[in-house]
A and B are shown apart, each in its own frame.
Chain A
Amino acid sequence: MKKSPIVTVVAIGIGAALFFVLARFVAIPSPVPNTNISIQYGLLAFMAALFGPVAGLLIGLIGHALADFSFGWGIWWSWVIASAVFGALMGLAARKVRLADGEFSKKDLVGFLIAVVIAHAVSWFVIAPVLDIVIYAEPANKVFIQGLFAGVSNIVTTAIVGSLLCAAYAASKPKKGSLKEEK
């Protein structure tokens, strides 16, 4: 894919729309009753790896903010910011991965998975709860447990969905090689 500032603008817009649709309309029941699994972070990790940290940050920010809006409770800033930070961190971590050229090696995958764990840990074990306390003065106990739960479930889903997306995208780029027709 070509790279230009306009592509980034469009990728942010479409990425945020995808994030919104997945957050808002895709319900995968989780093992915990009455809760759903957020697969939008798998998408966000992939988009950030492909389009960079700025795109990752803004897709997380806009996508999450629009989703909050549509539920009607306004914007829960602490979690929106955590999503944005996650996108930015994933973009930074994947700077060296040449996903756009169709490369996603075993080494890239391992790096990607480590980045997912760290970025989610930073976002949900630190940023979201700390901001919950600072901005909303919520009890520490509650917000850290919430963060822990969200973080762990996001790590699992992002690791699976995000790496499947990266691998599928890399595989979709035609490669020059020695494919031969067989009889």
Chain B
Amino acid sequence: MNDPIIQFHHFSFQYHAQSEPTLHDIDLEIRKGEKVLICGPSGCGKSTLAHCINGLIPFSYKGECGGSLTIAGRESRELGIFEISRTVGTVLQDTDGQFVGLTVAEDIAFAPENDCLGEPELHERVQKAAALVGVEGRLHHAPGELSGGQKQRVSLAGILVDDVEVLLFDEPLANLDPATGKQAIELIDEIQKKTGAAVVIIEHRLEDVLHRHVDRVVLMNAGRILADVAPDELLSGGLLKENGIREPLYITALKYAGVTVSADMHPDSIEGIILREEDREKLRDWFERTPPAPPMPERPVQLDIHELRFAYDNGHEALRDLSLSIRAGELSAVVGTNGAGKSTLCKLICGFEKQQSGTIELAGCDWASLSIKERADHVGYVMQNPNQMISQTMIFDEVALGLRTRGVGEEEIRRRVEETLKICGLWPFRNWPVSALSFGQKKRVTIAAILALEPEIIILDEPTAGQDYRHYTEIMEFLLALNRRGITVLMVTHDMHLMLEYARRAIVLSDSRLIADAPCAGILTDGEIIRRASLKETSLYTLAQRCGIDDGRAFVQRFIDYERREVRG
């Protein structure tokens, strides 16, 4: 427990291509058997720090190191990347990129194969590692047959197949649905207990990681370590908010109610937090005091979906008897596990696929005979990754692309593109190349390119994936502003916060069927729906119960209304 296995001492690093160091004066120790969470906003240097720990820096990404970094007692730059990988095993964020084998067994075997391990030991080790993470029944499955969570388990097994001393997880929650993310955190905890390895988790979703005990949280910003303390201590201060990390919702709620959160309350979990009677009283008071939002006026139905059924060529039924109405000017979330039918629904609306039966009507007109292009005049579709949509070099051209293919005159194009760029806050960059933009700005460009076609509805696939809290808020506020201009917004998402904070309504799919269609507060407090759709109960609900508020659903709704009104204005 005592030997530091990784030790940074006045460490700094600067990429060759950059003019400023990315890491400044890092002092950090990670000891055997410890579990450390490293968090911070995008660009804070946490990924660079991870690259230093696993040896990609300085061996793959070249740059200037200052100070010292020792791994298992030896200076890292004197080791090689292969030697470091004997000590540190890394699970990357992109599980598809890490899964290089054609089947589960081959992928787990990858590292020992590279060590020339022969039969029968190879098969034994693979079997053992697979059993450790619970994929032993799927050894011959191809990656295409696995869910995101299962792929991550395979990645972990591929690391555990060697006895490493440090397990490094780079954003393990990024691509998982809420329930699977929760299981991932539990699995990491379990594996650590079994193997005694040190665990380092890089992640900005603090509340989700804290689902299981963490020894220390390291907060980074602008290439420096700002805090390296127990979670209780960090949660009771204001550093998180200042540095663009979202604190757990129950803590935010307590703060709204005027409760002072201190470290001795053990705020690191909603189950464990010590709440005195007076704190509970305050929360109840706040709940009574806060007025509910006025009900939304009933709006006319815009998109009417009736008994939609779709099956793929291989016979897999992706949607069954789905009926749904989207009202004009709504902002709703479509949620559910991977493969529940969310993306199929979007594809059918956009015309990418054709339903076997059922109808889709826009403002009373049947869409059956409209082509993809014709539908796109009414419904815009924004993919998750902006890099998958952008094909032009200049921002202006990218936004103008759809108009040009429709044969709109140059004069009119200029007018519409400029107007769109203004709405999207991209006006100052109108003459820039796309490559000069950040990820979040690129996302805006893709949304702008869709808006230029003036659709009534836009559908977004995971609009905030891979974004830290600040960028996430920026994108969502932007969508909210568009929504206020009358555009109907439909978001497919795994992010419970996003759904709770921004969507008025959640459309829940499970196993190819619609299982719920209701306001979000209702969904995230309903145990049965949560279980069936792999969602996660909001900690606000637990907080309400712990404070003796009977109507947990109303409490959650009140919290959302309060934030919308008071905090975000």
Judged by CB atoms under 8 Å, the answer to whether A and B touch is: yes
Q: Is the CB of B428 within 8 A of A4?
A: no
* Chain B window 287-308, contacts with chain A (Cβ cutoff 8 Å), 1 for yes, 0 for no: 0000000000000000000000
A171-B433, A172-B435 known; A2-B61 Cβ under 8 A: yes
Is B371's CB within 8 Å of the partner chain A?
no
Does B375 have its Cβ within 8 Å of any Cβ on chain A?
A: no
Q: Which residue of B lies closest to A101 (CB)?
A: B17
Contact across chains for B393 and A182 when beta carbons are under 8 A apart: no
List residues of chain B with CB within 8 A of the CB of A181.
428-429
A182 touches B430 (CB 8 A): yes
* Chain A proximity mask over B402-446: 1 for CB below 8 Å, otherwise 0: 000000000000000000000000011111111110000000000
Q: Which residues of chain B come closer than 8 Å to A183, judged between CB atoms? A: 428
Which chain A positions have C-beta within 8 A of B427? 182
Residue A75 is within 8 A (CB to CB) of chain B in the complex: no
Complex Cα distance, B427 from A175, in Å, reads 20
- Chain A: minimal CB distance from B370 (Å): 23
Expressed in whole angstroms, the Cα–Cα distance for A168 and B428 within the complex equals 23
Known: A4-B60, A168-B391, A171-B393. A182 touches B433 (CB 8 A): no
- A174 and B436 in contact, given A2-B61, A4-B60, A168-B393 (Cβ under 8 angstroms): yes
B120 CB, nearest partner CB in chain A, Å: 28
Nearest chain-B residue to A13 (Cβ)? B100
- Do B435 and A179 touch (CB < 8 A)? no
Q: List 21 A-B contacts (CB under 8 A).
A: A2-B62, A4-B60, A167-B393, A168-B391, A171-B393, A171-B433, A171-B434, A171-B435, A172-B393, A172-B434, A172-B435, A173-B435, A174-B436, A175-B436, A176-B19, A181-B428, A181-B429, A182-B427, A182-B428, A182-B430, A183-B428
Binding site for A on B (CB under 8 A): 19, 60-62, 391, 393, 427-436
Distance A174 CA – B428 CA, assembled complex (angstroms): 18
* Distance A173 CA – B430 CA, assembled complex (angstroms): 18
Within the complex, the shortest CB–CB distance from A171 to chain B, in Å, comes to 4
- Report chain A residues within 8 Å CB of B434: 171-172
Q: In the complex, what residues of B have CB within 8 A of residue A179's CB?
A: 432, 436
Would you call A182 and B436 a contact (CB within 8 A)?
Answer: no
Q: Which residues of B contact A171 (CB under 8 A)?
A: 393, 433-435
Across-interface contacts of A2 in B (CB, < 8 A): 60-62
Q: What total of A-B pairs shows CB separation below 8 Å?
A: 30
B428 partner residues in chain A, CB cutoff 8 A: 181-183
User: Closest Cβ of chain A: how far from B172's Cβ, in Å?
Assistant: 23
Contacts of A4 in B (CB 8 A): 60
| Chain A residues closer than 8 Å to B393, beta-carbon distance | 167-168, 171-172
If A167-B393, A168-B393, A172-B435 are given as contacts, then 5 extra A-B residue pairs at C-beta distance below 8 Å, sorted by A number, are A4-B60, A173-B435, A174-B435, A175-B435, A175-B436
Give the distance in Å from the alpha carbon of A10 to the alpha carbon of B434 in the complex. 27
Cα distance A167–B436 in the bound complex, in angstroms: 15
> Chain B interface secondary structure, helix, strand, loop or mixed?
loop
Closest to B430 in A: A182
Interface size in chain A (residues, C-beta < 8 A): 14
Q: How far is the CA of A164 from the CA of B19 in the complex (A)?
A: 31
Asked if B60 and A182 sit within 8 Å, CB to CB, the answer is no
Residue pair B435, A182 in contact (C-beta under 8 Å): no
Residues of A contacting B430 with CB < 8 Å? 182
Complexed CA–CA distance, A29 and B393 (Å): 27
B559 to chain A, nearest CB (A): 37
The residue of chain B having its C-beta at the shortest distance from the C-beta of A168 within the complex is B393
* Closest partner residue, chain A, to B59 (CB atom): A4
B424 to chain A, nearest CB (A): 14
Q: Which residue of A lies closest to B97 (CB)?
A: A10
Distance of A172 Cα from B386 Cα, bound (Å): 13
B82 to chain A, nearest CB (A): 11
CA distance A179 to B19 in the complex (A): 16
Nearest-CB distance from B81 to chain A (Å)?
A: 10
Q: For chain A residues 140-176, which have a beta carbon within 8 Å of chain B? A: 167-168, 171-176
Residue of A nearest to B433 (CB): A171
Top 8 A-B residue pairs of the complex, sorted by shortest distance between their CB atoms:
A181-B428, A171-B393, A172-B435, A174-B435, A2-B60, A179-B436, A182-B428, A179-B432
Interface readout for A20-41 with B: 1 if CB under 8 Å, 0 if not?
Answer: 0000000000000000000000
CB distance from B446 to the nearest CB of A (A): 15
- Give Cα distance in the complex from A4 to B58, angstroms: 13
**A contact residues around B432 at 8 Å (CB):** 179
A175 to chain B, nearest CB (A): 8
Residues of A within 8 A of B391 (CB): 168
B429: A residues at CB distance < 8 A: 181-182
Complex: how many Å from CA A121 to CA B433? 36
The docked-state distance in angstroms from the alpha carbon of A183 to that of B427 is: 7
Nearest CB of A to B47, in Å: 15
Residues of B within 8 A of A172 (CB): 393, 434-435
Q: Which residues of A contact B433 (CB under 8 A)?
A: 171
Q: How far is the CB of B567 from chain A (nearest CB, A)?
A: 29
Task: Please indicate the chain B residues that have their CB under 8 angstroms from the CB of A182 in the complex.
Answer: 427-431
Separation in Å of the A2 CB from the closest CB of chain B?
Answer: 5
Cα distance, A82 to B434, chains bound together (Å): 37
Instruction: Please give the distance in Å from A170's CB to the nearest CB on chain B.
Output: 9
Once the chains are docked, how many angstroms separate the CA of A27 from the CA of B433? Answer: 31
What are the residues of chain A within 8 A of B19 when measuring CB–CB?
Answer: 176
Give CA–CA (A181, B428) in the complex, Å.
5
Residue of A nearest to B432 (CB): A179
Q: Considering the chains assembled together, what is the distance between the CA atoms of A182 and B426 in angstroms? A: 10
CA distance A110 to B428 in the complex (A): 34
Assembly CA distance A182 to B395 (angstroms): 14
Cα(A179)–Cα(B395), bound, Å = 13
Chain A neighbourhood of B62, CB < 8 A: 2
Shortest Cβ distance from residue A39 to the other chain B in the assembled complex, whole angstroms: 14
Residue of A nearest to B62 (CB): A2
Query: Which B residues touch A175, using CB under 8 A?
Result: 435-436
Point out the residues of chain A lying under 8 angstroms from B431, CB to CB.
182
CA A172 to CA B433, docked complex, whole Å: 8
Q: Which residues of A contact B435 (CB under 8 A)?
A: 171-175
Shortest B64–chain A CB gap in Å is 16
Q: CB-CB < 8 A to A167: which residues of B?
A: 393
CB distance from B568 to the nearest CB of A (A): 26
The complex places the Cα of A2 from the Cα of B429 at a distance, in Å, of 29
* Measured CA separation A173–B17 after assembly (Å): 12
Q: How far is the CB of A3 from chain B (nearest CB, A)?
A: 10
CB distance from A25 to the nearest CB of B (A): 14
Chain B nearest CB from A146 CB (Å) reads 33
